[in-house]
Structure 1
Amino acid sequence: MSTPLSFPTSAGHALATTLYVPAQPVKQAVLIAPATGIKRGFYRAFAEYLTAQGCGVLTFDFQGIGDSLSGSLRGNPASLVSWGSNDLPAALDELTRHFPHARYHLIGHSAGGQLIGLMPNAHRLSSLLAVAGSSGRIANMPMPYRAKAGTFMRLLIPASNRAFGYARTDLVGMGGPLPRDVAAQWSRWCLGRGYVETGFGQEVKRHCYDTLDIPSLWLHATDDEIAVKANVDDMIRVFTRMAGRAGRRTLDPAEHGLKSIGHMNFFRRESGALWPLAVAWLAEHS
């Protein structure tokens, strides 16, 4: 059973969520954290699959995205920092409210896994499964994608922010339009090392990247031009305590009977052959 909900955060804005409740008592509860600019509906099939396996699941839209956008995107105050330090912990609190006797896991897609170190309540999680999670450092991407991504980050995002007051990333197929500060930080962090590490001591004042120590598994695909091995390693490195025991797995589409996995396709219904990997991970850390 799935139910659309909305709940207030401590910052005063509301987050739109969908709660998935299995028929049986819940022992494992999963927060699915979306990639930059991706609406929660994208993860529906995967959430339904986990629910059929007995997991309680919560999906949500970050502030400024999908049903969590209130009013105009111009002037929306969301940033990557606020997504990690406010929205993610609020969503985890909501998950625990609905499933008070479960173990909690975060399955993060791209930014959804990268931002976990900004969560003040991340210690409540039993594990992290990061799908296509990496630093997204443009310098490590293969050509010609590196040139395309560099142009997007260096030129298109700043120009769009100036022209519209927000980033029209939807015009180039990079998810939905983004709040101004989300896009600006995304651009800046992907041009540096270690993604969020680029903002340490600047816009990132408080974090737990150096203290968080939970089991983690980082999945990336051979045909992903963003989460390449060098970028996966670059992101894991930022989690200084967790890095030593972080697991890594490279997925080859052909080995799973798939034409493509890339950066986005793990969560699509046609990639269901990959989903037992997530169930096995959750069972291992139950």
Structure 2
Amino acid sequence: MKELKLITKDSVSIAVHLFLPEKSNNKLLLINSATGVKQQIYFSFAQYFSEQGFTVLTYDYRGIGLSKPKKMKGFQASMRIWGSEDYKAVTDYIKINFNDYKKYCLGHSVGALILGMNEDSAMFEELIFVGTQNAFVGNLKLKTKIEAYLGFGIAQPLITTLLGYFPGNWFGLGESLPKNCAYDWRTLILNRKSTNGLLEKIDDYSKKLTQKVFVIRAQDDVWLTEKGVRSLLNNTYPNLKPTYRLIKTSESEKGEIGHVNFFRSYNKKLWNIILNELI
């Protein structure tokens, strides 16, 4: 594992880790993280794929993990910038250093939504979507819908405005988020257009993507619904060619997958679902 620092076009440093295999199969896998999830969560998964011959890259968006500033209040970042600047810096690096490789991208949650913000997404042979959807409240189940209205309609904007950032860790929602990342997250949930509501504010490449996409959803992911997943593929990425896979909790040795735990080492057995797709 090798640590890199990439500089975006707007001069922000992004922390990247490169997992190089002992014997390369000339395939590269890029992992786009979920909202507020540090890249370390994906290290065991990345190491496993490296052991199978893949070159793997993980990274932290600005404001998260090793790409976090000393002071969050006033730090300029948004989910749109994650896609158009941070993700773009990584794909630029890949084009320069691994141009002749077969390339794949795994987007976890928001990591799939930002694909439409970067024209380089077209270079990937196949995409993997894990735990992602158009998260508009109308697509959610009743209990989650109520929590979403209370949390993102009232608590999140109030706290974010008061503090100048959103302390996601207070609510078990991962890392603290820069202010505009929190507001973009609110858009994904409360705006009927959801992902398209962000894409219309930025250069949108989502309709130009035509690859195969392997779409994984966990049975016990309470924030995810089939309706939301289908909405993303039908309304945001209509030209991708999806294959769907529901992972049942009975397939997990611990009986838990949820929104993030697919990547925990105790679910290592499940990683073959993706490996078999890519080989």
- If the length of structure 2 is used for normalisation, what is the TM-score? 0.95
Q: What does residue range 1-286 of structure 1 map to in structure 2 within 5 Å?
A: 2-201=1-200, 204-237=201-234, 238-242=236-240, 245-283=241-279
Give the superposition deviation at 1:219. 0.3
Measured against aligned partners, the alpha-carbon deviations of 1:115-157 in whole angstroms (never above 9, x if no partner) come to 1111121111111100001112222222322212221111121
Stretch moving more, 140-149 or 150-159:
140-149
Q: Tell me, yes or no, if the aligned pair for 1:222 and 1:228 is still in contact at 8 Å.
A: no
Q: Tell me, yes or no, if the aligned pair for 1:135 and 1:193 is still in contact at 8 Å.
A: no
Change in Cα spacing, 1:37 to 1:208, as seen in structure 2 (3 Å) is: same
Distance 1:26 1:119 in 2: 26
Distance 1:131 1:40 in 2: 15
Distance 1:236 1:264 in 2: 21
Stretch moving more, 140-149 or 228-237:
140-149
RMSD: 1.4
Q: Tell me, yes or no, if the aligned pair for 1:56 and 1:99 is still in contact at 8 Å.
A: no
2:226 maps to amino acid: K
Q: Tell me, yes or no, if the aligned pair for 1:135 and 1:227 is still in contact at 8 Å.
A: no
Long gaps (5+) in structure 2? none
Q: Tell me, yes or no, if the aligned pair for 2:117 and 2:199 is still in contact at 8 Å.
A: no
Percent of matched pairs sharing the same residue: 26
Distance 1:200 1:15 in 2: 22
Q: Tell me, yes or no, if the aligned pair for 1:108 and 1:128 is still in contact at 8 Å.
A: yes
Kindly tell me the number of residue pairs found equivalent between the two proteins.
278
Distance 1:21 1:114 in 2: 27
Distance 1:49 1:195 in 2: 34
Distance 1:117 1:84 in 2: 8
Give the superposition deviation at 1:26. 4.1
Long gaps (5+) in structure 1? none
1:221 maps to amino acid: A
Give the superposition deviation at 1:98. 3.6
SS of the residue aligned with 1:263?
Answer: coil
Distance 1:22 1:200 in 2: 36
Q: Tell me, yes or no, if the aligned pair for 1:215 and 1:246 is still in contact at 8 Å.
A: yes
Q: Tell me, yes or no, if the aligned pair for 2:33 and 2:110 is still in contact at 8 Å.
A: yes
Measured against aligned partners, the alpha-carbon deviations of 1:203-231 in whole angstroms (never above 9, x if no partner) come to x2311111111110110011111121011
Distance 2:245 2:269 in 1: 15
Measured against aligned partners, the alpha-carbon deviations of 1:154-184 in whole angstroms (never above 9, x if no partner) come to 1121111111101111100001100100000
- If the length of structure 1 is used for normalisation, what is the TM-score? 0.93
Q: Tell me, yes or no, if the aligned pair for 1:31 and 1:106 is still in contact at 8 Å.
A: yes
2:238 maps to amino acid: T
